[in-house]
Amino acid sequence: MEPENGTRILGFLLLGLSEEPELQPVMFGLFLSMYLTTVFGNLLIILAICSDSHLHTPMYFFLSNLSFVDICVTSTTVPKTLSNIRTQSKVITYAGCITQMYFFVLFIVLDSLLLTVMAYDQFVAICHPLHYTVIMNPRLCGLQVLASWIMSALNSLIESLMVLSLLFCTDLEIPHFFCELNQIIRSACSDTFLNDMVMYLSAVLLGRGCFTGILYSYFKIVSSIRAISSAQGKYKAFSTCASHLSVVSLFYCMSLGVYLSAAATHNSLSSATASVMYTVVTPMLNPFIYSLRNKDIKGALKQFFRRKK
């Protein structure tokens, strides 16, 4: 098939997770319930932090940003999926697909960067407690979040501009429930060598860079905890970073599962199903992880609802 210029493409077909008609209502219900839970749970975290002055600390400042990004991640993909299931249409416009891809890459990278910044915050809190307020001052916290946004936006912009230069054939089916970067590149008819290089370079610099930073922070944290003499002190120090460690483990285990699934099976449907875990399930579980074991968050939520009553 002769390729067309990418700017003339009218749209793509998102094949989704299943084409079975009897499964569509089930999938619609699952996606809708997970999306509402994600938005409601993360909004509660943000409201609790904003409403309680005792939570205006670096840790909760980063957590509120993470909750906002989790809402954005799911809002980038799930509403279009729900619309396609409800209307029984698989079409997404070319501009809509590129826009969805841009914001998804932006927010998923930002998620990883914020988790790294939070790991550094935990490292300073446990390894340098006496200098914590001096090191983690409001200016540094703001700069860390701003730098994360800038890096994510630039990376996403470069990836999107590279995709805009590709030529696509007339067969524009994407075996996924959203416009995932790798799947769009695979759909192109032109040479994708530069796109692959940029994508893998980004994964190495940002993905592995963030993961290495988190590992180093927790290596130093574990070393500091081991040096604490009392068992109670060790438990208190570990409980401080338990929620963050759980979220990090969930995020990277899910991401690794998607990569291994795609590499092992070469099955697009299997990869799309695995992607649901870190694009929808992980943002949904984060509020539960941070609230169930966190007395400060639970106390702030109780006060918030008490004021409303």
Residue bearing tokens 């790991």: 119
Dist. CA 13–CA 181, nearest whole Å? 15
Predicted local confidence at residue 159, as pLDDT: 95
Contact by Cβ (8 Å): 240, 125:
yes
Residue 9 confidence (pLDDT): 67
- What does the pLDDT read at residue 4? 44
Question: How much is the pLDDT for 6?
Answer: 42
Domain interval for residue 50 = 4-308
Find out whether 283 and 250 touch, Cβ atoms under 8 Å.
no
pLDDT in tens, the chain (309 residues): 344 444 456 788 888 887 777 888 999 999 999 999 999 999 999 998 998 888 899 999 999 999 999 999 999 999 999 999 998 888 999 999 999 999 999 999 999 999 999 999 999 999 998 999 999 999 999 999 999 999 999 999 999 999 998 888 766 888 888 998 988 998 888 889 999 999 989 988 998 899 999 999 999 999 999 888 888 888 888 888 888 888 898 888 877 766 666 555 555 666 777 778 878 988 999 888 887 767 778 787 778 777 766
CB contact set of 211 (below 8 Å; sequence gap of 6+):
112, 252
CATH assignment at residue 265:
1.20.1070.10
Q: Give the length of the chain.
A: 309
What's the confidence (pLDDT) of residue 304? 73
Q: Whole-angstrom Cα distance, residue 270 to residue 273?
A: 5
Sheet holding 11-14, edge to edge: 91-93, 11-14, 173-174
Q: Residue 20's pLDDT is what?
A: 78
Number of domains in the chain: 1
- State how far the alpha carbon of 133 is from the alpha carbons of 2, 91, 138, in Å: 62, 52, 9
Tell me how far apart the alpha carbons of residues 17 and 177 are, in angstroms, rounded to a whole number: 6
